[in-house]
Every structure is written in C-alpha cells, then in structure tokens.
C-alpha cells in the first residue's frame, strides 16, 4: 500500500500552509456569522466583538498547539488590508448611505472629520511627547510621536453604526457615519504626510503646505470618484447591457468601482474618498440604469462583500493580537504595557472630547435660529462613537513600527503591542457597552414615537417639499397634501441657503445630469432604492 | 514646492508594482466586458477570444514599453488559479446546471469524462513518446511524457458552452458541460498520480491501484460536497437567517461553498468535484430556504463571479503568452516550435476522436430500443467541443516544466511554449469557428422548431410526469393535462429503469430529505429557480 499513501499525500500541488490557513479562516468566518446571528438579540454582543474574541481564541489555540512558538497563521499584510478588504467596505458605505441626510449634514461632517481629526492628532502627539518620557519610553523621535497621533486618530465607527438605526436616528447616523469615512481619509493622509516630512528642514510654512496638500488630495480624489461613477452610469446607459446579460452589468459596476480605488492609489490620491464618492454616484445614477435583478443583486452583493470583509478584519486583528514574537521583542514589564496603553487610551478619550463638544456647541451657536440644536445627549453619543479603534489603526501602526531598520526595536515592538491593546480593549469593552449605553441615553429620554428630536419631519422638511416641484420624494405621501402654498418659495430660498443649494442641485440634476447619466425618473421607476429602509441598510 | 512633490510621491505606502498591475488588469477586464458586449452579435468572436486577444495586445505593449525585456506584469501563479479563480467557476457550474438533464445523462457523462479522458491520456502520451524523438526533443523522461498526456487531456469547453443553448439543445449542453467538469477532475487526478508515481518501482498492479485511488477520490470528494451542501441547507433552514439579514445568508452560502473546496484540497481530495456537487446540492436545497432577495442575489452574484474569473483567466493566459524569458530559454528554431506544437495538436485531435466516436456508437448500440440515438452530427459537435485547451492545461504545464531543477531547461521551456501555442491556437482559431460551425451543423439540418431531436418532449417525458404524483415540475402546464392514466405507471417502472431511479429518488427526497433540508415545496414556492431559463443560465 506504499504507492497509495505516496499518491495521496502529494495529490495536491498547492502549498499546504496556504490551504490550512484559508481553511481555518473560512471556518472561523462561518462560525462568526452563525454565532453573530444567534447573539443578534443579545445587548452586549455584536458581530465585531464576536469576530475579535473568536480570533483571539483561535490564536490562543494555535499558540498552544505550536507549544508557544507561534500564533501566526497568516501574517498581517497591509496590502491585503488596503487593497482587498478596505475598498469593498468603503464603497458599500457610499453605495448604501442615505444621500439626502448625508449632504444635509455635509458641513458638520467635514468639520468633524477634518478639523476634529486634526485637533485630535495634535493633542495625542503632544500628549505622547510629554508623557512617554516619564514612563520610560525614550527612543522615539519627533516623527514617531506625530505618527502615533495620526495612528490613534483613526476611529472605527462600525460598532456604533451596528447599534444606531438609519431610520430612527438619521441625524446621528449620518454624522457619525460620514465622520468615520472622512476621518479614515484624513488620518491616512496625515500619516502619509508625517512619514514623508523632512524633519531636518522644517519651517513655518509647513502647516500651510500640508493644508494645501490636503485640500488638493480631497478635491482631486472626490472628482476622480465622481468621474468614475458618472462614467459607469454613462457606459451602462448608452450600451444598455441588460439586453444581453445581467451579470455583465453587475461585473462592470464591481470592476469600475474597484478600478477607481486602484487608480486613485496609483495617482497617489486618497482611494478611500474616491471609492466612497464613486459609490454615491453609482447609487444615484448607475443603479437606476440596470435591470431589476441587477439592482437587487448589487444592493445585496455589495453589502455581503462589505460584511465579509469587516468580519474578516476583526477576526484577523483578533488572531494577530497574540503574536508571540512581538510580545517577546518588546520585552517590557506588564507595568510598562499597562502604563503605555492607558496613557494612549486616556489621550484618545481627551483628544476626542477636545473637539466634539467645542465643535458641536460652535455649530449650535451658528444654527441657533434653526431651532435644531445638537443636545448634550447627542454630543455624548458622538463622542462615544469615535472612541473605538480598529483595523486602520493596526495597519498604520505596523507600517510605522514594524520594519524599521534604524530604530530601537524594543520600543517599536512596545508601540505595536500597546496599539493592539488599545484596539482590543476599546472594541471589546467599549463596544459591548455601546448598545446598552445608547439605548439608555437615547431611548430613556425620547419623546413617545420620536427618538431623535432633530429629525422630526420639521418645518424645513415641509419647506423643501414645496421647492421640489411636487416630485415624489423619499418621505412618502404627506408632502403632497402640503404642496399648496407655493408662492412663498422665493422667500424660503433666501432665508435657507442649504435648501437653495439642494434646490439648485435638483434642478441641475434633472435638466442636465439625469438625461445623460440616467437615474430615478429617467428609467422605469422601481420601488426600494439601495438606500431604502431595509434591515441590511443599517449596516455600513 | 519640493515638499509637495516629496509628499505626493510617497503618499501611499502600498507596493506600486502591485497597484500598477491591478490597475492594468482591471482596466483590461473592463475593456473585455465592454468589447464582449459590443461583439455579442458577431458570429466569430466571443468573450474568451476577446479576453485572450486583448491580453496578447497588452502583453505586446508591455513588451515594447520595457524594450523587449519583459512582458510580465503578474507572474502566472498556480495558487491564484487553483485557489481563487477555479472554485467560483466550478461552483457556479454546479449551481446553475439543469439537474434533471445532468442526472439523466449521468452515465454518458461519466463514460466520456473518465473513460474518454483516460483513453486520450494514453494516446497522447504514447504518441508524444513515439514522435518527439524524431523532431529532436530527446531529454524528456517517461514521467514527462505521461505528464504531457495528462496536461493535454484537460479540455476547456467554455467556448462551446457560450455558443450552445441550455434550452434549445439540452442533451448536447448537459453532456458537453458535464464531461468538461468530470474531465477537469480526471485530468488533474491523472496528473497528480503521474507526478507522484515511482517509476523505478513499477509493476502490473499499478493501473489497478490507480483505478482504486481514482474511485476513492471520486466518491469521497462527491460525498464531501454533498455533505457541505446539506449542512448549509440545514443551518440556514434551522436558524432562519433571513429573519435578521439577507446578507448573512448570502455570505454563509459563499463561504461554505468555498470552505468545501478548501477542505477537499486539505484532505487531498478533488476540490473541483466537491465544490461542483456542493453547488448542485445548494441549488436543490439551500437556495429554496433563503429569502427572495437572497435567491436573486446568489443566482446573479455567483454567475458574475464566475464570469469575472473566466475573463480574468483568459486575459491572464493572453498576457502570459508573450513571456520573453521563456521564449529565450527554449532557444529553439521556429521550425521546432511549429513541429512540436503541431504534433501536440494532431495528438489532441486524434486522441479525442479515438474515444468520442467509438463511445458514442457504443452507447447507441446499448440504447437502440430507446430510439434516442446520438446522431453523427451530434457526435461531431461533441468531438469539436473538447478540442479547445485552456487555463488548466497551462497551469499543469507550468507545474510540470517550470521549476524543474534536474531537467533540461531548454526542452522544458520548449514544452511550456508549445503548450501555450496549442492553447492560443485552439482557443482563437477553433473558438472563433465554433459558432458558425455549430450553427451550420445543427441548425441547417434541424427540423422546424426542434433543433435537438433527442430532446423533443418525448413519451418518456410524459411518462415521468405521471409518476411524479402530479407535483408541478419544470416543464410547465402541459403535464397536468396528461396526468390521467396513472394505472400504467408500474409497467413503466419495469421497462424504464432510469425513470425508476428518478422516481425512487423523488420519493426519498420528498419523504426524508426535503422535510429536513428544505427545498421546493417545503418553503413558499417562488417562480424562477437558479436553473431557470434566463439569458445568464446559458453561461457556465
């Protein structure tokens, strides 16, 4: 029987390590989905925490099985994360976001996402610089401190968004969600800027230059995303793919979205912003040009891919946390670990508080006449939502501290492990408190039937409906009844600039864009857009 | 402005080579889809040929741009092919196949796919052994010759299946399609067997042992696929995922299908067979247990992924063909290239003819009383359908001849380049003739409205409907009217053993399987199964 065993043992010619790693990962993914489903009603757990804990357990098992030598099955690779896992998540975020709410709160989102992140970055950098010497971490240089600031400014709002509902609290959802996307882009841009700065040749003009670069990146990335989205709409509308095959439409949408990300990265722009705006444009135009089957397929397929990528990342971070080599390399005492981690964590808490509350109150001052104040309760949730740290933090931390040739490896390893502790602690502990906390803060004080005071269909909402020329909008039937007093619209335009922008955009969209690129009203209308209120839409 | 340029040029920290390669590949994929759509009505072109030619052009451009140094953007990797591109194609094949037709012709499919492939393997090996010495290829050993036989026995039926219609010629479609899947599995198993055989210690028992291994692999792989499919059905039916999220259902189906492939590879079984049967079981049970949105999504998402993977492979093969290093390494004259390639190609033609016509006539002899002969015209198309060679051939050829330390590198490179020539020639030339040829052979001689004589809804079809207890079947309404004379069913069972098996299976399925695993009739019925007659179903 020797032949038989020889034949079987070499019956495949793929590398066995890869197959084992993939098998374990996909088994764990399966387990995550099933356990996440079973724990759906549980108030403390959610999918992210399940994946993280399951990853930790699997890492522990591997560590024990290898007798303490290694817990690595796959090495954490930035390429895997930035090239394959992040794009579907961000694209789906843009594709499923409620565009009206998002653009209504666009100013607040930009203020929090850009200005807020920069404040947090400065505070964490300065804080780390002042405090680390006292703990005993001495070998870091200026660039490292600035990098720490950028790394820990990257929030992960997935946990909070899993709890908030896009339908019940649209204002909070759109602001926290939008801030999350802009924050990712801002912190990555900041990180790149820090990495490439020449610290021997620093001058006062540097911050102005940084601002210039940031604005350049922001606008070019957005424009690239918009162009990619419009191009896909134009191609599918002109060539009418549905005539031959639904699959080709879906394939083209997927590939063009991915291509926009790659192209942005190739041009050294922010792929995240590009693919996010590409998603928004695709759901506004392209989605309406495809067949009904393609609409359902894209809506769910993109959400599924994003869901898998998200779970995969948390699983990955969990498994990677027990990397024994890194813990050994840092060779610090438990006290140092705790000191560094809790310092970082305190800086995160303070850094976020330092911009959320001032900025929110600043907005309140400006918008006083609107009567739509951001209550303290909401400010608290906005602060809380950005405390969790996730995969972007880990990926950036690896990039800064892992393959550093000229640096003190001990302190570098300490920084990586401390970052991992911050990520694990914030996700597991803070993540599991999030659901009960938000329920307590929001629902206990909610008026009956209205959980989010800013989002009562207010006078403004009724006003915009007058302006909309009676076209059916998302709200439903009630605006049709109120469409009487049209003569007052000019006065409203003057007193409400936000609505003016929206009104002009709608006019421009209807007259120039939709005839060329398609969109609702210019192709047969089908109920249930990708932003429609379904149970899937509430996941980012 | 020096700061600005420094900052921008390092604004991303991903490896630029990967990004460039991915951008080029995804741009080409886009181009393929659009050109393929535009050429849809063209009788000579199809998607595979477009992708192959586009890949060749891109390779040529890269070759010129690098001034003849390299045409490689991505290296052809067996892992990429066998781990990520092949599984979705085969899974989708199983998911979309018309199960009734497939199992009706199961004996013929196995006969062609296993026995036929072995005949072709023997003939090509012996032919190469006898002829290559005369051409001047002398350094190959016995194992190499046997490997050449296995490599060139792997057919690629994609081109033909793109032309044939599952609705118009169900018999031909299911036989050619089924043979393609079984053939892939057989040739890979043969190839693995050849690679692991100990040629110094060969005896007469070896072929018996090979047969034993093959049967073992075939049955265990099938059982694993069936178990994975049933497990997915059971989990989704029991836990009722749709209650919380459509995306979770879709994710679970995708991941479990992929997991079955990985598990089979891990256990050294045939992943292709496993994932194929997993697809069949999923479309029979699991698909009926999910929400309506999930059904549409899975149907189209799987088809889209398969479509992208297929196009990707052809693009890849096209770009890889101009690999200048390999052409240099072989250092043979144009005459030798042509001689070796045409010898191989002649062997392919003869090797396939040597089993298609004898086996078809053998089946005709046995089934004489049925009146369902395989006409010569159909035999010719079955022969033609298996002449194209594709990605499996290239992948196996690389595996055998690329990283061979102890072999003559010159002849090894010659074998790889000759295989590429055979693949390119057969796909481009034979592929583009396929559509006009099949139209000429099939349609010119077709009776009005019936293009495939074996597939007229025959007496047998009506008989099976009596047996089916009046449950709605795929055919439509007509069988309900004919459901009168039930008393004759026992006699029919005795005279028609195939139907007996089908009848017993249906009874077993209805009584034991469907109550546990779900399936049509045990969940709310929805028209349009994944095997339904749509324009997507005709693509493998």
CATH number of the structural domain B20-443: 1.20.1530.20
Q: What residues have CB less than 8 Å from B144, skipping those under 6 apart?
A: B400, B401, B407, B415
Q: Say yes or no: A263 contacts chain B, CB-CB below 8 A.
A: yes
- Read off the pLDDT band of B369 (50, 70, 90): low
Q: Say yes or no: B229 contacts chain A, CB-CB below 8 A.
A: no
Q: Which of A121-125, A394-398, A457-461 is predicted least confidently?
A: A457-461
Q: What residues have CB less than 8 Å from B257, skipping those under 6 apart?
A: B87, B91, B228, B232, B275, B278, B279, B282
d(CA A60, CA A49): 16
> B400-409 pLDDT, tens per residue?
887 655 556 7
- Residues A382 and A420 sit within 8 Å (Cβ to Cβ): no
Mean pLDDT of A104-122: 89
Q: Where are the domains of chain B?
A: 20-443
Nearest to B26 among A27, A37, A255 (CB): A255
For residue B187, what pLDDT is reported?
86
Q: Say yes or no: B34 contacts chain A, CB-CB below 8 A.
A: yes
Residue A97 or residue B223, greater confidence: B223
Mean pLDDT of A173-191: 85
- Read off the pLDDT band of A459 (50, 70, 90): very low
- Residues A467 and A503 sit within 8 Å (Cβ to Cβ): yes
Q: Is the pLDDT of residue A157 over 70?
A: yes
SS3 A254: helix
Smallest CA–CA separation between A8 and chain B, in Å?
6
Mean pLDDT of A133-152: 84
> A340-385 pLDDT, tens per residue?
899 999 999 999 999 999 999 888 888 766 556 788 888 888 898 8
Residue A530 or residue A109, greater confidence: A109
Smallest CA–CA separation between A1 and chain B, in Å?
9
Q: Which residues of B touch A297 (CB under 8 A)?
A: 296-297, 299-301, 304
Percentage of the residues of chain B whose pLDDT score is greater than 70: 78
Smallest CA–CA separation between A358 and chain B, in Å?
31
The DSSP result for A308-348, as a single string, is: HHHHHHHHHHHHHHT-HHHHHHH---HHHHHHHHHHHHHHH
Q: Residue A144's Cα: distance from chain center in Å?
A: 25
> A408-445 pLDDT, tens per residue?
677 888 888 888 889 989 888 888 888 888 888 876 55
> B449-468 pLDDT, tens per residue?
444 444 334 444 444 444 44
- Read off the pLDDT band of A204 (50, 70, 90): low
Average pLDDT, chain B: 77
Q: What residues have CB less than 8 Å from A27, skipping those under 6 apart?
A: B259
Mean pLDDT of B91-110: 86
Percentage of the residues of chain A whose pLDDT score is greater than 90: 18
In this structure, the dihedral spanned by the alpha carbons of residues A167, A171, A175 and A178, taken in order and rounded to 10 degrees, is 40
> A310-345 pLDDT, tens per residue?
888 888 888 878 777 777 777 777 788 888 899 999
Q: Give A 478-497 residues with CB within 8 A of chain B.
A: none
Listed residue (B164, B158, B303, B242) closest to A293, CA to CA: B303
For residue B36, what pLDDT is reported?
85
Q: What is the pTM of this model?
A: 0.82
Q: Is the pLDDT of residue B290 over 50?
A: yes
Mean pLDDT of B384-392: 86
Q: Which residues of B touch A34 (CB under 8 A)?
A: 235, 239, 252
Q: Say yes or no: A17 contacts chain B, CB-CB below 8 A.
A: no
Q: Is the pLDDT of residue B538 over 60?
A: no
What is the end-to-end Cα distance of chain B in Å, rounded?
55
Q: Which residues of A touch B15 (CB under 8 A)?
A: 79
Q: Which of A477-481, B39-43, B233-237, B325-329 is predicted least confidently?
A: A477-481
- Read off the pLDDT band of B299 (50, 70, 90): very high
Q: Say yes or no: A403 contacts chain B, CB-CB below 8 A.
A: no
**The residue to which tokens 């839409």 are assigned:** A537
Q: Is the pLDDT of residue A224 over 90?
A: yes
CB contact (8 A) between residue A79 and residue B18 = yes
d(CA A414, CA A419): 8
For residue B22, what pLDDT is reported?
87
CB contact (8 A) between residue B38 and residue A308 = no
d(CA B164, CA B537): 11
Mean pLDDT of A446-468: 44
For residue A259, what pLDDT is reported?
95
d(CA B221, CA B244): 33
Q: Say yes or no: A35 contacts chain B, CB-CB below 8 A.
A: no
d(CA A277, CA A93): 10
SS3 A43: coil
């Amino acid at each position: 029987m020797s032949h038989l065993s020889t034949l079987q043992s070499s019956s495949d010619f793929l590398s066995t390590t890869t197959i084992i790693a993939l098998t374990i990962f996909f088994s764990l993914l399966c387990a995550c989905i099933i356990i996440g489903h079973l724990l759906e009603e549980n108030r403390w757990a959610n999918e992210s925490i399940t994946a993280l804990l399951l990853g930790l357990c699997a890492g522990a098992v591997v560590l024990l099985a290898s007798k303490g030598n290694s817990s690595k099955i796959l090495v954490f690779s930035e390429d895997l994360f930035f090239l394959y896992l992040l794009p579907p998540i961000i694209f789906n975020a843009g594709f499923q976001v409620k565009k009206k709410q998002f653009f209504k709160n666009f100013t607040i989102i930009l203020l929090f996402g850009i200005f807020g992140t920069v404040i947090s970055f400065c505070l964490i950098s300065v804080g780390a610089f002042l405090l680390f010497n006292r703990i005993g971490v001495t070998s870091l240089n200026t660039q490292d401190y600035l990098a720490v600031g950028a790394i820990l400014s990257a929030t992960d709002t997935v946990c909070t968004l899993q709890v908030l509902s896009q339908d019940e609290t649209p204002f909070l959802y759109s602001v926290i969600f939008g801030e999350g996307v802009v924050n990712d882009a801002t912190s990555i841009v900041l990180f790149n800027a820090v990495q490439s700065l020449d610290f021997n040749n620093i001058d006062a003009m540097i911050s102005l230059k940084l601002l210039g670069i940031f604005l350049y990146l922001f606008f070019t990335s957005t424009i690239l995303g918009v162009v990619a989205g419009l191009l896909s709409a134009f191609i599918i509308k002109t060539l009418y793919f549905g005539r031959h095959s639904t699959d080709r439409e879906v394939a083209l949408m997927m590939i063009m979205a991915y291509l926009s990300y790659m192209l942005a990265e190739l041009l050294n722009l922010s792929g995240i912003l590009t693919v996010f705006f590409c998603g928004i444009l695709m759901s506004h135009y392209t989605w309406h040009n495809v067949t009904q089957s393609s609409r359902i397929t894209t809506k769910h397929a993109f959400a599924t891919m994003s869901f898998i990528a998200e779970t995969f990342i948390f699983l990955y971070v969990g498994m990677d946390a027990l990397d024994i080599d890194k813990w050994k390399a840092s060779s610090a005492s438990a006290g140092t670990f705790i000191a560094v981690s809790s310092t970082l964590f305190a800086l995160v808490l303070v850094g976020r508080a330092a911009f959320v509350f001032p900025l929110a109150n600043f907005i309140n001052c400006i918008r006083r006449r609107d009567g739509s104040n951001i209550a303290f309760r909401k400010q608290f949730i906005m602060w809380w939502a950005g405390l969790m740290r996730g995969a972007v933090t880990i990926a950036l931390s690896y990039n800064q501290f892992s393959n550093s040739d000229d640096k003190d490896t001990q302190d570098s390893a300490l920084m990586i492990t401390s970052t991992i502790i911050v990520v694990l602690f914030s996700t597991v502990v803070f993540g599991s408190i999030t659901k009960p906390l938000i329920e307590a803060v929001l629902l206990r004080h909610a008026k009956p039937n209205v959980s989010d005071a800013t989002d009562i269909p207010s006078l403004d909402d009724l006003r915009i409906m007058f302006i909309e020329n009676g076209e059916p909008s998302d709200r439903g039937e009630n605006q049709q009844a109120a469409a009487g007093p049209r003569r007052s619209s000019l006065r409203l335009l003057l007193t409400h600039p936000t609505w003016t922008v929206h009104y002009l955009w709608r006019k421009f969209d209807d007259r120039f864009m939709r005839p060329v690129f398609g969109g609702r009203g210019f192709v047969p209308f089908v109920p249930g857009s990708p932003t429609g209120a379904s149970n899937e839409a509430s996941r980012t």
